[in-house]
Chain A
Amino acid sequence: MLFNSQAFIFLFLPLTLLVFFGLGRVSAKLAAGWLAVASLFFYGWWSPAYVALLLLSILCNFSAGSAIARAQAQGEGRRSFRLLTLAVIANLALLAYYKYANFFIANFNAVTGTGLGFAEVVLPLGISFFTFTQIAFLVDAHQGKAREYNLVHYGLFVTYFPHLIAGPILHHGEMMPQFAQREIYRPQHDLIAAGLTLFVLGLAKKVLIADGVAPYVAPVFDAPGAGVTLTMLEAWCGALAYTFQLYFDFSGYSDMAVGLSLLFGVRLPVNFHSPYKAVNMIDFWRRWHMTLSRFLRDYLYVPLGGNRKSRTRRYINLLLTMLLGGLWHGAGWTFVLWGVLHGVYLVINHGWREFRRSLGHNIHQSTPWGRRAACLLTFIAVVVAWVLFRAPDVATAQAILCAMAGFNGLVLPEIWLARLGAAGAALTALGIEFGATPALPRTGVLHWIWILLLIVWLAPNTQQIMAAAKPALGVLNEAPSRIRWRISMPWALLTMALMLAVIVNLGRHSEFLYFQF
């Protein structure tokens, strides 16, 4: 079921909320059970067959986690480690079967010339998210940080529908104490008001912005495959359109998840914090898909040695972490290259910092213009990497990147020549070419681009706007924004207007980009 579907908004959500609070009056256990069952129904709406897989994964991981915790409690560290290894391998094997088997076999065939076959497997929705969530639980159980004896609470922690399909990736330690609180089973009207507003803001980001800019993406990314040679303007427009589509789609989903959870009185961790305002790549990864960054840091980078070993080892760890982060997003060489590129970005960033430190510079000091230039440079680097992320294959990504670099020349759409009149003639005299831009059938994308650039660079993000309600966990401390939500009639009317605008546009509802990961 999609958050942006009428069935979810008008049936599933109200019914789940009403029954949850109704049962909450009688018994917290019943209410938690209901929420877990509703979450399974939410998951099963897409494919009932995979509910069994999800339940099996939950049961096995709960049993493994309990056994690990018992072994730890009995001081049997080696047994705990063996159990952890076995459980992590089982989780990764499940993920490998559903997500990577075809990729590995195709590459094996390509290298060895064999013709091994493998049945087409449908990727279960959210498998990367619920697998990672549970691996984190197992590792924490082994380290003695997590212990859970209540299957209903554990099941709810994994299946909890606001995060189940596309995150945020939850941490056992931040969720279980909340499920244990009595007050979440009673309506908390301040949180409901904030949650509703945040859900509507996220929905508007998805339906009005991400879906609005989406039609400009495919023509550019499909063009090289159709034999079209892209020009510089076309390639940049396509890459920027995707940059905004992905951000508003995924951050919109995360806002909706946080808002929905708040309706139930539960705070989820924040997942985005104006990533395109980042002034370097380290900063970017502290702002983009923050719960994945946290997971990769805590459960991959740190166990690999993090920055505790030599400088070279640290860079290798960074590259490895980002490579696997790329592979987590999808079984394809474009994702691997995207991860490696971000790893290289981070290595350069750390190297640059150390170089400046060696010169005696204070790396925390910067000028406003310096920050702007750094922000622009970071943004361009991120856009370039998104081309790899979106392209269907490496050859397409290469073609688009070459066009962005200007190898195919700068050609403005032919129809602009007539529109620009004398200015068009002047540009032609200056050597600017007007001609075919088949991948840019509608030039309205330029308006989207400049408006969205202003929004991502200048506007506060939803967490800053909603700061008064403290809607999420782990929000970075920053100066409060000028636009601040509060419980007032103007905000009620604005939320209502946005809700109506979204509802009448739901007919064209589309899937969230991050569902595929």
Chain B
Amino acid sequence: MTPRAYTAWVIGGCLALLAPVVALNLLLLANDHRHDKNRLASRWQQESGGVTYAPPISNNRAFKTLRLADRLPQINTLVFGSSTAMSVTADALPSGLHAYNFAQSGNGLLSVIGEAKFVTTHFGERVRWLVIPLDWALGFVYQGGATPSADLSAAQVEPPVALPLAARLQEALSLPRITTLGVVLREIAGAEDRIAAARRMFFEAAGAPYRCADGAMARDFDLTFRGQCVGFRADGSATFADQKRVTAASAQSVLAQAASASSQYARALAQKAGQPDAELLEQLAMLLRQAQARGIRVVFFLPPLVPGLDARLLASAHSGANLARTKAALEGWAQQHGIPLFDAGPSELHGCAATEFIDAHHALPVCYRKIMARLFEALPPKP
């Protein structure tokens, strides 16, 4: 082999392998930007009532804002929060409450306050109940700062903007994009009609509608998780179909890891030695006053944890005092404002099992139904 041939093989081989990858990923990117997937997915769900979402799955604000606008005439209750609360289904709430689950991935409590303020100001005529989790497990109750202003009107949802060429090329060569392309090509290779499958993937906004195992309709506007019924139901709750469940066999290990001093929960509690942020509590109080002035009821709760975790953390040397401090501070704050605070943390007390969780802090709808039933039973009648 000559040196010239060696260099040609290395560079030529790389280019030969990368060129189709880049070209196909650019096609997929162009397809992503050609369609306003948030609006298309929202419209499809409004018509079909099926399961869907708009990519990326980690950013649900635009899709859920559009859905909220569509669902507003039928609802009177909004559930806020992060993915922790995404399993709260409309049927988990008592009759008479018609809910849309507005929880979004990674949505902190400060953002929730901004969203809830917007709802009380602009949708207060229709929305009469706000359900808000006070999530310490992800550290949200310890975060201070200004409340980001939220605009939940459908008009402010922007259509996608095409990236500049350099950014597109960079993205086309990124590992997540290449991984997605692998999934796409595998699906096309496994399809009965490969040409039709390729056309759907590369040139159309979504795959064909299909039925989930529970009979619900679904349609995928994203390239990943195709055919898996991943996304949100019409009530805004998540299916979490791509996530594994805690099993009876893995429950002890999940609990042991979550209760350890190096777990994310222990670290969250250690942030401010378990003391919720005073500024945040003041913002919550302002929201409460604003809502009460308009006759809207706000329900606060501490989200459920995998059975045994709350007790283990409370008994631990590393986090016990911090968690007790958090609970006492939040309870004291609730009492100060004359509202009840439901603690769903020890979920085993409310009938939840470890197998009704995805991980240590993501409960499934079956658990949330029990939690919500107890929560609303415990609520005093409207004054």
| B-binding residues in A (CB < 8 A) | 6, 189-190, 192-193, 196-197, 200, 413-415, 417-418, 435-438, 440-441, 487-489, 491-493, 495-496, 499-500, 503-507
Contact = CB atoms under 8 A, between A and B. Distances in A.
A415 B13 contact: no
A413 B17 contact: no
Nearest to B255: A418
A84 B283 CA distance: 67
Contacts of B7: 189, 192-193, 196
A504 B10 contact: no
Interface string B158-180: 00000000000110011110100
Contact of B170 (A6, A418, A440): A6
A394 B175 CA distance: 39
B357 to A, nearest CB: 18
A415 B257 contact: yes
Contacts of A196: 7, 10-11
Given A435-B261, A488-B1, 7 more contacts: A200-B10, A414-B256, A415-B256, A415-B262, A504-B174, A507-B175, A507-B176
Given A492-B9, A507-B173, A189 B261 contact: no
Given A190-B3, A507-B170, A507-B173, A414 B261 contact: yes
Contact of A503 (B2, B173, B260): B173
15 contacts: A196-B7, A197-B10, A413-B260, A415-B257, A418-B256, A437-B261, A495-B10, A496-B13, A500-B17, A503-B14, A503-B173, A504-B174, A504-B178, A507-B173, A507-B174
A186 B157 CA distance: 57
A359 B241 CA distance: 75
Interface string B211-243: 000000000000000000000000000000000
A418 B252 contact: yes
Given A438-B270, A487-B2, A496 B257 contact: no
A159 B199 CA distance: 51
B14, B253, B262: most-surrounded residue (chain A CB, <10 A): B262
Interface of B: 1-4, 6-7, 9-11, 13-14, 17-18, 169-170, 173-176, 178, 252-253, 256-257, 260-262, 266-267, 270, 318
Given A436-B262, A436-B266, A500 B14 contact: yes
Contact of A436 (B1, B13, B174, B261): B261
Contacts of B169: 6
A493 B14 contact: no
B318 A499 contact: no
B2 A437 contact: no
Nearest to B16: A496
B6 A492 contact: yes
A190 B262 CA distance: 53
A266 B189 CA distance: 49
A263 to B, nearest CB: 10
Given A6-B169, A415-B262, A507-B174, A189 B18 contact: no
Contacts of B261: 414, 435-438
B4 A441 contact: no
A491 B13 contact: no
B6, B9, B175, B318: most-surrounded residue (chain A CB, <10 A): B6
A74 B364 CA distance: 89
A489 B262 CA distance: 48
Nearest to A414: B260
Contacts of B260: 413-415, 436
A504 B175 contact: yes
A217 B185 CA distance: 38
A414 B258 CA distance: 11
A489 B9 contact: yes
Contacts of B6: 193, 487-488, 491-492
A466 B361 CA distance: 53
A6 B173 contact: yes
B4 A189 contact: yes
Contacts of B267: 438, 441
Contacts of B270: 438
A441 B260 CA distance: 10
Contact of B18 (A436, A491, A495, A500): A500
A424 to B, nearest CB: 11
A401 B46 CA distance: 62
B266 A192 contact: no
A197, A495, A506: most-surrounded residue (chain B CB, <10 A): A495
Given A438-B267, A507-B170, A413 B262 contact: yes
A208 B18 CA distance: 19
A349 B261 CA distance: 43
Contact of B175 (A200, A418, A505): A505
A415 B261 CA distance: 9
A470 to B, nearest CB: 14
Contact of A440 (B13, B175, B262): B262
Given A415-B257, A436-B266, A438-B261, A496 B2 contact: no
A196 B5 CA distance: 13
Contacts of A491: 6
A413 B259 CA distance: 12
Given A189-B4, A193-B3, A503-B14, A437 B262 contact: yes
Contacts of A190: 3
Contact of A496 (B1, B9, B174, B256): B9
A415 B256 CA distance: 7
A189, A436, A500: most-surrounded residue (chain B CB, <10 A): A436
Contacts of A500: 14, 17-18
Contacts of B9: 489, 492-493, 496
Nearest to B179: A504
Contacts of A440: 262
B3 A487 contact: yes
Contacts of B2: 189, 487
Nearest to A497: B13
Contacts of A495: 10
Nearest to B260: A414
Contacts of A437: 261-262
Contacts of A505: 175
A230 to B, nearest CB: 12
B1, B3, B252, B266: most-surrounded residue (chain A CB, <10 A): B3
Contacts of A503: 14, 18, 173
A496 B178 CA distance: 17
A267 B162 CA distance: 44
B82 to A, nearest CB: 21
B1 to A, nearest CB: 5
Contacts of A200: 10
Contacts of B11: 196
Given A6-B169, A437-B261, A418 B253 contact: yes
A6 B22 CA distance: 13
A188 to B, nearest CB: 8
Contacts of B3: 189-190, 192-193, 487
B14 A487 contact: no
A423 to B, nearest CB: 16
A197 B14 CA distance: 13
A143 B195 CA distance: 76
B148 to A, nearest CB: 26
B281 to A, nearest CB: 24
Contacts of A441: 262, 267
B175 A493 contact: no
B267 to A, nearest CB: 6
A254 to B, nearest CB: 21
Nearest to A228: B270
Contacts of A492: 1, 6, 9-10, 13
Contacts of A493: 9, 13
